[in-house]
Chain A
Amino acid sequence: MRVPLGAIAGARSGDKGGDANLGVWVRTDAQYAWLVGELTVARLKELLPEAGEVDRHELPNLRALNFVLHGLLGEGVASSTRFDPQAKALGEWLRSRHVDLPEDLL
């Protein structure tokens, strides 16, 4: 079924200099198994086309993925001309994007 990612996933995002970080987590092991397969770097870039170079880190103990979006904020929060210069709402943007989710994970 087609639902916003945020139907099952939480997220928190923020800034480190010119990079943004975006942590995404889910609440069951089955959801995490799906998330790891679904939310690849390529898929993240489809969902967030503004992303450039991206690293993904897996934290299975937290059922979480952490993405580092390099250079998204230019030279850092004070100089960025981005609408959200500290990437505070990047996670909420991602959660609002629609994905195909197996019904039993909802």
Chain B
Amino acid sequence: MIRIGNASGFYGDRFAAVREMLEGGDLHVLTGDYLAELTMLILGRDRMKDANLGYARTFLRQLEDALGLALERGVKIVSNAGGLNPAGLAQAIDKLGLQAKIAYVTGDDLRPRFPEALTANAYLGAWGIAECLKAGADVVVTGRVTDASLVVGPAAAHFGWDRDEWDKLAGATVAGHVLECGTQATGGNYAFFTEIDATRPGFPIAEVEADGSALITKHDGTGGAVTVDTVTAQLLYEIGAPAYLGPDVTSHFDTIQLEDHPRGVRISGTKGSPPPETLKVCLNHLGGFRNSTTFVLCGLDVDRKAELVRRQLEDAIGADGLTWTLARTDHDDADTEETASALLHATIKTADPKRAKAFSRAGIELALASYPGFHVTAPPGDGTPYGVYKAAYVGRHEVRHQAVLPDGEVVEV
């Protein structure tokens, strides 16, 4: 059995979780997911400003705090916090001066092939991580690998799985899918939250067995719950058809068996089959600039008030790229001002940053010249760039998945 914990479901998740997971009980490996489609865009903008950035900076600070503890306890750290710059992150961790053996995985960055994109990253699988761990790494950082690979890689390295052991890989993928969003598996954001203590859920752990089955659990004394229902909720998160495609295996979610266990939930029975011939690529383009504001429309004539302010704003800057939604959150004859109010959301999306800025100026200039009771929930800002996400697919052999081992040796995966 290998005991793999998770301490992060996104860039911005509970900072203290790395230390909590290391101090809370035994682990072999601690993983953290920092990358979402949107995060790649944020990191892409970081990288535009400074080519040395492009990784999840909070992860570095978490290691500054807790890497010594991990080394002392012999817990391996595996994370995709490298984002767009895993080599840069590996270097920054090395500079912490703890003499940890650091390895990283590259090859996901496909910008030369998609030059018009701000970010272009293939979803790599688990085998680069497995190479790094087999070479004795204490810390493995990657760029865009699938979230589940953070669990599959350590399990595959530990048990020495072959690349065509589909059921085992599928089982570990399912465990990884459960762990990848942190506390969403342990009672966070959970539909039946009133039935558990959801105040401060602990982060999840998968005890993966040699056959790929797993026990989902959490450290003793932590909040939240691990039940068939909390695990089911997370299994259903961000999936499509039951044949769940990944870079290493296709995992059949309609074969998963869940069973209550005194320490959590057993996952078994998952069938796997070969993965598709292509890898998915996450592309982010700069779409333009956006700005938004919310007008509060209180009391009578809500529709007419909305019409008036819309006409005024469109006269000032033109209707192009504007979107309006009127949320009738108001109630008749309400006994609080807030429940007497409707919300009119206005958003502009434009290629021209000046127009995004003009939107806020025009909105503010209406303050004494519009509908009775004019106010906004917050004054509009200058506008911000926005990204457009697209998926693309490339042949798996067109991607050079590489593991850079602690001694600097580069292994083709």
Whether B240 lies near A17 (C-beta < 8 A) is no
Contact A6 B191 (CB under 8 A): yes
Cβ-defined contact, A23 with B233, below 8 A: yes
Please tell me if the beta carbons of B389 and A78 are within 8 angstroms of each other in the complex: yes
Whole-angstrom distance between the Cβ of A80 and the nearest chain B Cβ: 9
B364-402 Cβ-contact flags toward A at 8 Å (1 or 0): 000000000000000000000011111100000000000
- B345 within 8 A of partner (CB): yes
Whether, in the assembled complex, B58 has its beta carbon less than 8 Å from a beta carbon of chain A, the answer is no
29 contacts between A and B (CB under 8 A): A10-B229, A10-B232, A11-B236, A12-B189, A12-B234, A14-B238, A16-B238, A16-B240, A17-B389, A21-B237, A25-B236, A59-B236, A59-B242, A61-B254, A61-B256, A62-B232, A64-B232, A66-B239, A66-B242, A75-B287, A75-B389, A76-B37, A76-B38, A77-B37, A78-B37, A78-B38, A78-B287, A78-B387, A79-B387
Per DSSP, are chain A's interface residues mostly helix, strand or loop, or mixed?
Answer: mixed
Task: Give Cα A25–Cα B191 distance, bound, in whole angstroms.
Answer: 10
Q: How far is the CB of B402 from chain A (nearest CB, A)?
A: 27
State which size class the interface on A falls in: 35 or more
Evaluate whether A61 and B239 lie within 8 angstroms (CB atoms) in the complex, with A78-B387, A78-B389, A95-B191 already known: no
Q: Which residues of B contact A79 (CB under 8 A)?
A: 287, 290, 349, 386-389
Chain B residues touching A, majority SS:
mixed
Residue A2, interface by CB 8 Å:
no
Q: Are B37 and A27 in contact, with the CB atoms below 8 A? A: no
* The one of B38, B192, B323, B345 that contacts A10, using a Cβ cutoff of 8 Å: B192
- Chain B: residues with Cβ within 8 Å of the partner, total of 42
A24 to B239, CA, bound (A): 12
Closest chain B residue to A86 by CB distance?
B38
User: In the complex, what residues of A have CB within 8 A of residue B290's CB?
Assistant: 79, 81
Contacts A62-B232, A81-B349 given: A21-B238 contact, CB under 8 Å? yes
Q: Is the Cβ of A61 less than 8 Å from the Cβ of B240?
A: no
Over the window 213-242 of chain B, the binary record of Cβ atoms lying under 8 Å from chain A Cβ atoms (1 yes, 0 no) is: 000000000000000010011111111111
Give the interface of A toward B (CB within 8 A): 6, 9-12, 14-18, 21, 23-25, 27, 55, 57-64, 66, 68, 75-79, 81, 83, 88, 91-92, 95
Quick check: is B41 within 8 A (CB to CB) of the other chain? Answer: yes
- Closest Cβ of chain B to A5, distance in Å, is 11
Cβ-neighbour of A92 out of B41, B191, B232, B238 (below 8 A): B191
CB distance from B83 to the nearest CB of A (A): 16
- Least distance between B175 CB and chain A CB atoms (Å): 15
**Candidates B236, B256, B257; contact of A23 at CB < 8 Å:** B236
Chain A: CB-nearest residue to B256: A61
Q: Given known contacts A61-B256, A62-B256, is B239 in contact with A23 (CB within 8 Å)?
A: yes
User: Which chain B residues border A60 with CB–CB below 8 Å?
Assistant: 254
A83 contacts B327, C-beta separation under 8 Å: yes
Say yes or no: A64-B236 contact (C-beta < 8 A), given A10-B192, A57-B241. yes
Cross-chain contact B240 with A57 (CB below 8 angstroms)? yes
Q: Is B258 an interface residue (CB 8 A)?
A: yes
Q: Smallest CB–CB gap between A32 and chain B, Å?
A: 12
Do A61 and B347 touch (CB < 8 A)? no
**Residues of B with C-beta under 8 A to A58:** 242, 254
